Structure 1
Amino acid sequence: MKRLTTLAAAAALLATGAVAQELYAPNLAYRTGPFAATGIPLMNGQADYFTLLNERDGGIGGVKINFDECETGYSTEQGVECYEKTKARAIVTQPWSTGITLQVLPKTNVDEIPILAPGYGFSPMADGRVFQWAFNIPSSYWDGASMILNYIEQEDGDLEGKKVAFLHLDHPFGKEPLPFMEAKAEEKGFELLPIPVGLKEMQNQSAQWLQIRRERPDYVVMWGWGAMNAGAITEAVKTRYPMENFYGVWWASHDADLNLVGEDGAGYKAISWSYPNLEAPLIADLKEHVIDAGLSQTNEEEMQGVFYNRGLVISMILAEGIRAAQEEFGEAEITPTQLRWGLENLEITDARLEELGMTGMVPPFSTSCADHTGHSGGWMLEWDGEQFQKVSDHLMPETEVISALEKQAAQEYADSNAPWPVNEECNVGG
């Protein structure tokens, strides 16, 4: 019923001559630099989803989306420059780096513009009371670490007395899961062995894998990105580390990285809150309205991969936030503040995913004033030598444990950055 109301409102705007121009939703992209190989398919998926909405539906609620890209090269300095350059007209900022996210986080309180950081950024951003303008929908890094450890326990038994190597990019992104991993190591009685990989070492990790050979951990959990993932997977094969004991975060589930080793990489796993459903009606619509029309930079191989399809899910989240805000406020040209409300009131159900033609591409989730993540859970994917396959049912993180950590860390952040505005009207249930 509400969607019919939105269409009626858009029609009324057209009838009165008050034609909406566009909604500016810039993306701080990284198609260049050391992480370009992973950035390109994600950016292509994101852009194609909004191109589809613009071409097939005339936009959202009668207004087209300007999905402009500002190139950062994954540089924090360039990312902040892009934020400053785009914020005046933008209804949202999409930083695409934990480093950039941390830099713009305090700025958004002043500028009052939502940060949308799907599946990345500062995990305590889930606490909407403290981080009023930040969203890391649909899963946080602490969610990912929880699901990986839970899966290992389900499959292999107790972690007590085991050794878990944490191979991570020496960058805010790579360090983000450490507080949760350290807490779980103490609770579960396993030894956590952090192994950092510097930006200059991503393609040559011989020292790190020499340490892994020497320490002989029971499991390796990788928080990698870009060239680091390909380097680690290649080294794991070279050193004959058992791939079935090698796990990665969702940003370490890029098909191209595993294609480098093919069959030798079989058994490698990565947690993921998205999954390609190549039979989904959305894919057919993309081919008809975007790909065949020559409006995309993607190719057939990339379209089948995890990252391109994750890009589609990411833009769906933003589009649904826009749609929710339009419906609530009866306006096509929403403001950043109204979009914040939309992102706080997402209801991505199985039924809605079916309507969107995206069944099976992301688990259902909802957000609220207090919960800016949604904690959707995900699936464990495994490389079979040719592609990633789901090897688990829907997995969920330890939300109670994580919620307590989020609130503690959020309060510590607010205290150390005082005076920090807090939404006192936002309660735990709201």
Structure 2
Amino acid sequence: MKNFAKLAAAAVVASVVAGAAMAESLYTPNLSYRTGPFAATGIPLMNGQKDYMSMLNARDGGVGGVEIAFEECETGYSTEKGVECYEKTKGKAIVTQPWSTGITLQVLPKTNIDMIPILAPGYGFSPMMDGKTFQWAFNAPSGYWDGADMIVQFIESEGSLEGKKVAFLHLDHPFGKEPLPVLEAAAAEKGFELLPIPVGLKEMQNQSAQWLQIRRERPDYVVMWGWGAMNAGAITEAVKTKFDMSKMLGIWWSGHDADLAIVGDKGKGYKSISWSFPDVDAGVMADIKKHVVDAGMTESNETEMSGVFYGRGVVMSMILAEGIKVAQDHFGEANINAEQLRWGLENLNVTEERLAELGMSGMVPPFATSCANHTGHSGGWMLEWDGAKFVKVSDHLTPNTASYSDIAMKSAADYATANAPWPVNEECGG
């Protein structure tokens, strides 16, 4: 029996090696946006994602001995161009990374037919947390509703919200409207007034009307759901109007170092919830420097690489690489397909120990996914701008998912009904 076990183990290893030898690469396209009004935030994220995969290719020959073909298809954050990129890449892709809530919503029904997993770390359609309904969609490690809940938690830690007024300054776009169901439910439960203030795409750099309203309404807090040029516009206006920056909090896409650097010390106190944290001294950053930066293969620079968004891009590609590895180990083959990667993304278990092995301790909280849970709900930290950089000002926060699980279930059911016939994984428990 011992000899048989050894032979069986050897056969699995041999099959993985053989699969690696047969596979030229694993095609993992990224629907990037290095151009357009959101380029300032897109570039560091794309650079972090790309550099991590380049490092794996240079250091390890990819994942499981198979090189990662990390091609970018430029969308400019346009939903129309994003769908074009999806159609262009889906033939040989094992994953799609849409990089916009609008694009995610458009390709979501297509992926069920094409059987390609969506990987949208920290963005996209929040009800994707329901893996039973959204079998091919993943937004691990944390979703928008998680972020909204943690922001409310943090504000409440400073005192009761009863009778308070919270302005919700948001991009007038599917992304900006995502947290409304959770924020509205929290307002009703905790007794605060929620004041939605939309910012149109053409108003991102000139928000004088919105900040005039904020001055008039005098909210106790401003929660910002901004992206790209909107972030710098809002922060600049807040400083100009002398708003108390300690009472202004943003989602993780509104916590970009370069936006705060514009105002420097005047932005002190501004906060952003985040499921990632940069660490230039981390082992993974040393490997990126050795195998990518020193080899002249990066498009980044030292300042950008020390920031939140570059580090987040690194974490995002780690999630994809871990999904590939989990699938390879489970199926005993290196040249996995899209359906096998879907299984890998559904069975992630990114523990503290695994993060230490990856040289990424403290860069993202531990999290795990399952058949029913495609978000992982890692939680995160509240970061604060100290005048020069973002620092952690909270312990690890975790979302109270029970407070919006009913909303998620109803939204998922409504989506499935509206898009009938919609396949649901009836074998998925929980």
TM-score grouping bracket, smaller chain normalisation: over 0.9
> Deviation of residue 202 (structure 1)?
0.1
Separation in structure 1 between the aligned mates of residue 93 and residue 19 of structure 2, nearest angstrom: 26
For the residues of structure 1 that align with 2:19 and 2:235, how far apart are their CA atoms? 59
In structure 2, C-alpha distance between the alignment counterparts of 1:331 and 1:27, rounded to whole Å:
24
Q: How does 1:250-289 map to 2 (within 5 A)?
A: 250-289=252-291
State the partner residue of 1:76: 79
Shift, 1:403, TM fit: 2.1
Per the alignment, do residues 317 and 71 of structure 1 end up closer, same or farther by CA in structure 2, a change over 3 Å counting?
same
Classify 1:187/1:305 alpha carbon distance in 2 versus 1 (closer, same or farther; 3 Å).
same
Which residue of structure 1 lines up, in the alignment, with residue 321 of structure 2? 319
1:50 and 2:50 aligned: no
Percent identical among aligned pairs is 73
Given that 2:327 and 2:344 are in contact with CA atoms closer than 8 Å, whether structure 1 keeps it comes out as yes
Cα deviation for residue 11 of structure 1 reads: 5.5
2:385 matched to which residue of 1?
A: 383
In the alignment, which of 44, 57, 65 is matched to residue 41 of structure 1? 44
Q: Who is 1:119 aligned against?
A: 122
Q: Could you tell me which amino acid in structure 1 is paired with residue 139 of structure 2? A: N
Deviations 1:35-79 (A, max 9, x none): 000000000000000000000001111100000000000000000
**1:31 corresponds to:** 34
Equivalent position to 2:95, from 92, 97, 104: 92
Contact 1:253 1:306 in 2 (8 A): yes
Unmatched runs of 5 consecutive residues or more in structure 1: none
1:352-363 matches, within 5 Å, as 352-363=354-365
Q: 2:216, 2:349 → 1: CA distance? A: 48
Q: Equivalent residue of 2:232, what SS? A: helix
Candidates 383, 397, 418, aligned match of 1:395: 397
Q: How does 1:12-411 map to 2 (within 5 A)?
A: 14=17, 18-154=21-157, 156-411=158-413
Helix, strand or coil at the partner of 1:397 = coil
Shift of 1:10: 6.1
Return the TM-score normalized by structure 2. Answer: 0.96
The question of whether the paired residues in 1 share the 8 Å contact of 2:346 and 2:374 is answered with yes
> 3-state SS of the aligned residue for 1:143?
helix
Q: 1:189 to 1:6 in 2, by over 3 A?
A: farther
Q: Return the letter of the residue paired with 1:70.
A: C
Give the unaligned 5+ runs of structure 2: 1-7
User: What SS is found at the alignment partner of 2:421?
Assistant: coil
Three-state SS of the structure 1 residue aligned to 2:404 is helix
- Give the letter for the 2:269 counterpart: G
The change in CA–CA distance for 1:329 and 1:263 in structure 2 (over 3 A counts) is same
Conserved in 1, the CA contact under 8 Å of 2:17 and 2:334? Answer: no
Change in CA separation of 1:196 and 1:15 when aligned onto 2, cut-off 3 Å: closer
Contact 1:224/1:251 (<8 A) preserved: yes
Determine the C-alpha separation between the residues in 2 that align with 1:84 and 1:125.
Answer: 21
Distance 2:11 2:23 in 1: 14
| CA shift digits 1:344-389 (9 cap, x unpaired) | 0000000000000000000000000000000000000000000000
Quote how far apart the aligned CAs of 1:404 are.
Answer: 2.1
CA 1:9/1:19 → structure 2, altered by over 3 Å: closer, same or farther?
A: farther
Alpha-carbon distance in structure 2 between the residues aligned to 1:294 and 1:279: 20
8 A Cα contact 2:171 2:177, kept in partner = yes
Does the 8 A contact of 1:129 with 1:422 survive in 2? yes
Q: For 1:157, what is the secondary structure of its paired residue?
A: coil
SS in 2 for 1:196: strand
Which one is further off, 205-214 or 417-426?
Answer: 417-426
Alpha-carbon displacement from aligned partner over 1:21-40 (angstroms, at most 9, x marks no partner): 10000000000000000000
The letter for the 1-side match of 2:213 is Q
CA deviations over 1:311-345 (Å, ceiling 9, x no partner): 00000000000000000000101011100100000
- Find the counterpart in structure 2 of residue 421 from structure 1: 423
Query: How big is the shift at 1:15?
Result: 6.2
CA drift at 1:93: 0.1
**1:245 and 1:217 mapped to 2: Cα distance?**
9
- Maintained 8 Å contact 1:13/1:20: no
Report the residue type matching 2:346 in the other structure: E
The answer to whether the 8 Å contact 2:130/2:374 transfers is: yes
3-state secondary structure, aligned to 1:380: strand
User: How many residues are matched?
Assistant: 423
Task: Give the drift of 1:277.
Answer: 1.4
State the distance in 2 between where 1:203 and 1:295 align.
33
Deviation at 1:418, TM superposition (A): 1.3
Give the aligned residue type for 1:228.
M
Distance in 2, matches of 1:72 and 1:356, equals 31
CA distance, structure 1, for counterparts of residue 339 and residue 262 of structure 2? 45
- Comparing 133-142 with 10-19, greater Cα deviation is found at 10-19
Question: Equivalents in 2 of 1:16, 1:40: separation in Å?
Answer: 34
Tell me the distance in 2 between the aligned counterparts of 1:16 and 1:416.
Answer: 41
Deviation at 1:279, TM superposition (A): 1.4
C-alpha contact (below 8 Å) 2:148/2:179 kept by paired residues: yes
C-alpha RMSD over aligned residues: 1.4
Following the alignment from structure 2 to structure 1, what is the Cα–Cα distance between the partners of residues 337 and 19? 21
Distance 2:167 2:38 in 1: 23
